[in-house]
């Protein structure tokens, strides 16, 4: 995830771009750059670092012109470097573009353009090159033709030295138009423009737009005009940084409809070959990442691998890796101290799964997979967990089932989940039950619940209930059952009945009619490929924890005693 800003008007563009980028820095902060159009010439200045320091060192404010684009980067393709920073020129210096997203077929497209000299390692640089490749008529025609060649996700803003216009497009990545008087804006998020306007037009999936100083036009992917009505925003700046959501956690939960697709596009080729060539695979992780590690271990074990997930802090005392062992380290920050200690162990190969380009874990390992989830502000992991699940699926399956609108379907259940949260907010204990590949999701649901609601909760493989835990189930005890219809449902139904016999209040996440009959409350799960059930279950559990937390008067973004990145052992 990265931050994009664009401006066309009569004010000095560089000033507006710098201000906007500072408000977007939460979306990416490893490098920054701007391009301005001045008297038919595009000038670009960019470098690694935070917005303010790069702007000062490169004297952005000296850049003339009343049209410009800017970008603050969260690296996905290519290391953090000046060359990989945006904006990017095309083959000449007559077209410049900024991009947020992941172009899945960039390697093939680069191969088709061998006569083009690419200055960076990024997938994003392809876009201005493609436009130039197709530029034998109008710019908008070349723009549309180029977009049709892209597979993956994108928010794009391009500028042509020959025209005083901005060209925009979005697919699976947000982009918003801001309407001013004699000036127009665009950005990844509303805060970047809020100082200048309260009128906005969020682009919808597949939209393409042209901005001039006085107007905007929006087209569909085939170039036909469409109408998008402006909205008026009355948010405070703090609210705007959260896109109108009351907390970053809720904003990040909703961002998963974009981030999961970007995570599914991650490059896993090298890591997958390492896994194929090893029989013993040790997975080390902590907290939420450990639950993703459990999922990977479960799925690889089903394929016949000797795969085990370990709590990283205990790994040095338990495991004895050898020269035939492959280690997989999973860490959102890439700086988790316990994991850094664990992966010092001797092995024949190391894989990192992380969200932070250039982090310590990425530098240590032989192969690194980036989650592409963008910065996560809330302490409780949400979008980074589903990003990890997406990567786990890529590593474990030959082909990942297409999730389609699954994420949006689960997000649409928020109102009914909030009502269930009201029933749970006064409780002091809760239990999460599942079987099979849904067990790691039960662990994650319980962790999310306890860390931001301060309600004691535990998760169990449901068969373990009768080995002690049933003694704690009494009248009104909440039991959250993860019970989509699969090969485990019949046995899980028996466990649900055991809790009901002792007075439990059962909340089921299910699409099974028999489970629904035994439940007091139901969060309906759509019928999808069973391999996608963990993804479908994770999101309502995040929403449930969030709403219980808010109902109890807790700030879910900042749970007590916890930090986002644990860099001490």
Axis-axis angle for helices 139-148, 126-134 (nearest 10):
120
Q: Which two tokens stand for residue 369?
A: 């997979």
Q: What is the pLDDT of residue 568?
A: 36
- Please tell me the least confidently modeled range out of 103-112, 150-159, 178-187, 517-526: 103-112
Task: Give the separation between CA 119 and CA 89, rounded to whole angstroms.
Answer: 9
Q: Tens digits of per-residue pLDDT, 398-410? A: 999 888 899 999 9
Boundaries of every domain in the chain? 3-241, 266-400, 404-569
Task: Reply yes or no on whether the pLDDT at 563 is more than 80.
Answer: no
**148 catalytic per annotation:** no
Task: Reply yes or no on whether the pLDDT at 357 is more than 80.
Answer: no
Task: Give the separation between CA 104 and CA 262, rounded to whole angstroms.
Answer: 9
Q: Which two tokens stand for residue 535?
A: 């993804």
Residue range 266-400 in CATH 3.40.50.970: no
**2 catalytic per annotation:** yes
> ∠264-266-268 over CA atoms, to 5°?
110
Cβ-based neighbours of 262, under 8 Å, separated by 6 or more: 1, 76, 101, 102, 152, 153, 172, 173, 372, 373, 387
Architecture of domain 404-569: 3-Layer(aba) Sandwich (3.40)
Architecture of domain 3-241: 4-Layer Sandwich (3.60)
> Of the residues 12, 272, 413, 564, which is catalytic?
564
Banded pLDDT at 172 (limits 50, 70, 90): confident
| Among 258, 2, 23, CA closest to 124 | 2
> Do 266-400 and 3-241 have the same topology in CATH?
no
> Of the residues 2, 186, 286, 365, which is catalytic?
2
Q: Tens digits of per-residue pLDDT, 432-472? A: 999 999 999 999 999 999 999 999 999 999 888 888 888 88
Residues 461-484 have a mean pLDDT of: 90
Which residue do the tokens 């599942």 mark?
434
Q: What pTM value is reported for the model?
A: 0.71
Q: Are 358 and 75 in contact (CB under 8 A)?
A: yes
| Among 101, 112, 87, CA closest to 37 | 87
**Per this entry, what is the length of the chain?**
569
Average pLDDT, the chain: 91
Q: What is the DSSP string of 1-30?
A: --EEEEEESSS-HHHHHHHHHHHTGGG--S
Instruction: Between 357 and 501, name the one with better pLDDT.
Output: 501
Q: Are 436 and 483 in contact (CB under 8 A)?
A: no
Task: Give the separation between CA 53 and CA 24, rounded to whole angstroms.
Answer: 15
Q: What is the pLDDT of residue 471?
A: 82
Which residue do the tokens 């609210």 mark?
239
Sheet holding 478-483, edge to edge: 456-461, 429-434, 478-483, 505-510, 521-524
Residues 273-286 have a mean pLDDT of: 95
Q: Tens digits of per-residue pLDDT, 311-343? A: 999 998 998 888 899 999 999 888 787 898 898
């Amino acid at each position: 995830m990265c931050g994009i800003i664009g401006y066309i008007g009569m004010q000095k563009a560089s000033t507006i771009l710098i201000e906007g980028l500072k408000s977007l820095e939460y979306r990416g902060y490893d490098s920054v750059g701007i391009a301005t159009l001045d008297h038919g010439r595009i000038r670009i200045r960019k470098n690694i670092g935070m917005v303010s320091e790069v702007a000062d060192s490169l004297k952005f404010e000296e850049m003339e012109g009343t049209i410009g684009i800017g970008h603050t980067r969260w690296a996905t393709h290519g290391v953090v470097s000046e060359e990989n920073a945006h904006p990017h020129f095309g083959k000449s210096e007559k077209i410049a573009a900024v991009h947020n997203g992941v172009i899945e077929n960039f390697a093939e497209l680069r191969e088709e353009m061998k006569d083009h000299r690419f200055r960076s390692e990024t997938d994003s640089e392809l876009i201005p090159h493609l436009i130039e490749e197709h530029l034998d008529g109008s710019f908008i025609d070349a723009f549309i033709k180029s977009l049709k060649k892209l597979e993956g996700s994108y928010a794009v803003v391009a500028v042509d030295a020959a025209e005083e216009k901005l060209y925009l497009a979005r697919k699976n990545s947000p982009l918003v138009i801001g309407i001013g008087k004699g000036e127009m804006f665009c950005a990844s998020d509303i805060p970047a423009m809020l100082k200048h306007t309260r009128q906005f037009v969020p682009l919808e999936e597949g939209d393409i737009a042209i901005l001039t100083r006085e107007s905007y036009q929006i087209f569909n992917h085939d170039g036909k005009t469409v109408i998008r009505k402006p909205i008026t925003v009355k948010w405070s700046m703090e609210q705007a940084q959260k896109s109108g959501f009351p907390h970053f956690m809720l904003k990040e939960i909703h961002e998963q409809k974009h981030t999961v697709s970007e995570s599914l596009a991650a490059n896993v080729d090298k890591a997958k070959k390492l896994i194929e060539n090893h029989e013993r695979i040790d997975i080390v992780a902590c907290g939420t990442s450990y639950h993703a590690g459990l999922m990977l271990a479960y799925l690889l074990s089903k394929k016949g691998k000797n795969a085990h997930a370990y709590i990283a802090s205990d790994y040095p005392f338990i495991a004895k890796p050898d020269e035939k062992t492959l280690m997989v380290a999973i860490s959102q920050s890439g700086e988790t101290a316990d994991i850094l200690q664990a992966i010092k162990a001797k092995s024949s190969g190391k894989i990192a799964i992380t969200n932070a380009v250039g982090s310590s874990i990425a530098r240590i390992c032989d192969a690194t997979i980036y989650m592409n989830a963008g910065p996560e502000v809330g302490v409780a992991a949400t979008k980074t967990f589903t990003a990890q699940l997406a990567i786990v699926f890529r590593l474990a399956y030959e082909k990942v089932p297409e999730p389609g609108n699954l994420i949006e379907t689960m997000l649409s259940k928020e109102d009914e989940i909030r009502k269930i949260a009201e029933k749970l907010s006064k409780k002091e204990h809760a239990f999460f039950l599942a079987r099979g590949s849904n067990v790691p999701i039960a662990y994650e649901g319980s962790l999310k619940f306890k860390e931001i609601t301060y309600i004691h909760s535990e998760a169990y493989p449901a068969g373990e209930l009768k080995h002690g835990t049933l003694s704690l189930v009494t009248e009104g005890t909440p039991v959250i059952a993860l019970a989509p219809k699969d090969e485990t449902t019949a046995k899980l139904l028996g466990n649900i009945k055991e809790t009901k016999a002792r007075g439990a209040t059962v909340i089921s996440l299910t699409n099974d009619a028999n489970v629904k009959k035994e439940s007091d409350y139901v969060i309906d799960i759509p019928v999808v490929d069973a391999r996608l059930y963990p993804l479908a279950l994770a999101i309502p559990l995040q929403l449930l924890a969030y709403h219980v937390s808010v109902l109890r008067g807790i700030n879910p973004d900042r749970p007590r005693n916890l930090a986002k990145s644990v860099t001490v052992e």
